[in-house]
Amino acid sequence: MSLSQLSLLHVRNLAEFKIVPDPRFNIIEGANASGKTSLLEAIYLISQVKSFRTHRINHIIQHKQAELRLVANYLDHTNNLHIIGLERSRSNTRIHLNKKPVNQSSQLAALVPIQVITPESHRLLEDGPKFRRQFIDWGVFHVKQSFLQVWKDYHRILRQRNAVLRHKSSKQQVTSWDAPLVDITNRFHNERLQYLQALIPIIQSYTKQLTDEDITIEYLPGWPVDMDFRQALQASYEQDCQFKHTRVGPHRADLSIKSHSIPVQVGFSRGQQKLLVCAMRLAQIQYLQHISQQSCIILVDDLPAELDSNHRAKLLNLLDETGAQVFITCTDEHLLELSANTSRKVFHVKHGQIKEVV
Ligand SMILES: Nc1ncnc2c1ncn2[C@@H]1O[C@H](COP(=O)(O)OP(=O)(O)OP(=O)(O)O)[C@@H](O)[C@H]1O
Ligand SMILES: [Mg+2]
């Protein structure tokens, strides 16, 4: 699975271009502010229809331009070619897949699994639990696409119960939502649990290879673990009324990751945190390949940041082993010691102009 061609217009500072990436490694090299991360952002847009840097997609449209345009040729795991077109104005997005309009961006997300590692990746560990839930749900969604409906149904029922809580309704009106919520929660919870049971040992193994440390990972389901969800919901009723929203459930879930019994957020160095996040993402990539033969596109922004040469080499080696298409940015390609027989292309970016180095 790989991007076999990419052309774009009016993305950040980038000049109009067309590139034919290597199916394996693509090194994007250039000085600060040349446009390297912008190129990764453009690739990410093709899958996610949003940026990994900003919530404001308008920021990505080139100054003084009305819209951006991207066209990508994408080969899926059965080697079928898909042509993806995306146009984004300041108020409107139009997506085409094989010349047919696409209304649901999740269709592209399902077709083009993508993973991103950036110098801010440690935020997956340090920021709120929302990011760790997104991490889990990304994996469950790609492994089992019926999960998207379970996710949507859970959040719809939760919103309805919360609306009743906000309107000072009777106890009977609130608890009438409990049975459907318990039912969908059991399905939601089991899907996450099954996925994590498979994923956690793979994360631990990658973490050991990259950091030499042993870690424990515990899934906190969003309610006290000594209760089942029905009991937790009943026990939470008074508090739910007081706070006017449901305070237990998969929307409050989290992962607790520890090394030597200390949360990695405080126990690990910045470099170790980056390597752990890489291990988490590599595990998702490997497990997805194992289950569905689908591989990911991997974007690594500023790979050398925070990593010494030994850890850079270890990470590059593991990225190589995935067999996936990888795009790596760096200010100096000599910092990336790829093994000699790994297929690659190098692109040089200067003031928004991208040129393949031949
Ligand atoms: N909407 C926009 N229109 C035009 N230029 C923009 C827009 N948004 C950002 N830029 C500029 O694009 C340039 C490239 O930014 P980018 O983050 O891609 O650089 P980079 O090569 O990744 O640099 P670094 O090595 O510092 O990370 C910057 O100078 C930035 O100011
Ligand atoms: Mg950058």
pLDDT in tens, 14-25: 999 999 999 999
- Please tell me the distance from the alpha carbon of residue 133 to that of residue 105, in angstroms, as a whole number: 20
Q: State mean pLDDT over 92-110.
A: 92
Whether residue 132 is predicted with pLDDT greater than 90 in this model: the reply is yes
Residue 76: predicted pLDDT: 93
Query: pLDDT-derived band of residue 338, with 50, 70 and 90 as boundaries?
Result: confident
Which residues sit with Cβ closer than 5 angstroms to ligand 2, an ion? 37
Residue 93: predicted pLDDT: 92
Counting from 1 in the atom list of ligand 1, the atom nearest the Cα of 302 is 27
Whether residue 339 is predicted with pLDDT greater than 90 in this model: the reply is no
Counting from 1 in the atom list of ligand 1, the atom nearest the Cα of 41 is 18
What are the tens digits of pLDDT across the range 327-336? 999 999 888 8
Whether residue 168 is predicted with pLDDT greater than 80 in this model: the reply is no
Residue 57: predicted pLDDT: 83
- Ordered by start, the domain boundaries in the chain are 1-113+297-358, 121-293
- Which residue type occupies 35? G
**33 C-alpha to ligand 1 centroid (Å):** 5
What are the tens digits of pLDDT across the range 38-49? 999 999 999 998
Among the bound ligands, the one closest to the CA of 300: 2
- Please tell me the distance from the alpha carbon of residue 6 to that of residue 190, in angstroms, as a whole number: 39
Distances (CA, A) of 116 to 11, 96, 119, 256, 290: 19, 24, 10, 22, 20
Whether residue 55 is predicted with pLDDT greater than 90 in this model: the reply is no
In 3D space, the residue among 303, 301, 306 whose CA is nearest the CA of residue 273 turns out to be: 306
CATH level 3 topology of 1-113+297-358: Rossmann fold (3.40.50)
Cβ(58)–Cβ(98) under 8 Å? no
What are the tens digits of pLDDT across the range 228-251? 999 999 999 999 999 999 999 999
Residue 333: predicted pLDDT: 86
Q: State mean pLDDT over 143-172.
A: 93
Among the bound ligands, the one closest to the CA of 353: 1
Residue 56: predicted pLDDT: 86
Non-local CB neighbours of 210 within 8 Å, separated by 6+ positions:
275, 276, 278, 279, 311, 314, 315, 318
Query: pLDDT-derived band of residue 340, with 50, 70 and 90 as boundaries?
Result: confident
Residue 337: predicted pLDDT: 85
In 3D space, the residue among 282, 263, 283 whose CA is nearest the CA of residue 273 turns out to be: 263
Pairing mode of beta strands 297-300, 262-263: unpaired
Cβ(53)–Cβ(11) under 8 Å? no
What are the tens digits of pLDDT across the range 186-223? 999 999 999 999 999 999 999 999 999 999 999 999 99
Whether residue 354 is predicted with pLDDT greater than 90 in this model: the reply is yes
* Residue-averaged pLDDT of the chain: 95
Report which protein residue has its CA nearest ligand 1's atom 20: 33
- Which residue type occupies 248? V
Q: State mean pLDDT over 286-315.
A: 94
Binding-site residues, ligand 1, Cβ < 6 A: 12-13, 30, 32-38, 59, 61-63, 331
Cβ(94)–Cβ(70) under 8 Å? no
Residue identified by tokens 């990994």 is: 52
Report which protein residue has its CA nearest ligand 1's atom 26: 32
In the chain, pLDDT over 90 holds for what percent of residues?
A: 88
Counting from 1 in the atom list of ligand 1, the atom nearest the Cα of 61 is 1
What are the tens digits of pLDDT across the range 258-278? 999 999 999 999 999 999 999
**90 C-alpha to ligand 1 centroid (Å):** 19
What CATH superfamily classification does 121-293 receive? RecF/RecN/SMC, N-terminal domain (1.20.1050.90)
Counting from 1 in the atom list of ligand 1, the atom nearest the Cα of 59 is 1
Ligand 1 pocket test, pick from 11, 12, 88 with the greatest ligand atom count within 8 Å of Cβ, gives 12
Report which protein residue has its CA nearest ligand 1's atom 18: 35
How many angstroms separate the first and last alpha carbons of the chain? 24
**304 C-alpha to ligand 1 centroid (Å):** 19
Query: pLDDT-derived band of residue 82, with 50, 70 and 90 as boundaries?
Result: very high
Angle (CA) 142-132-246 rounded to 5° is 100
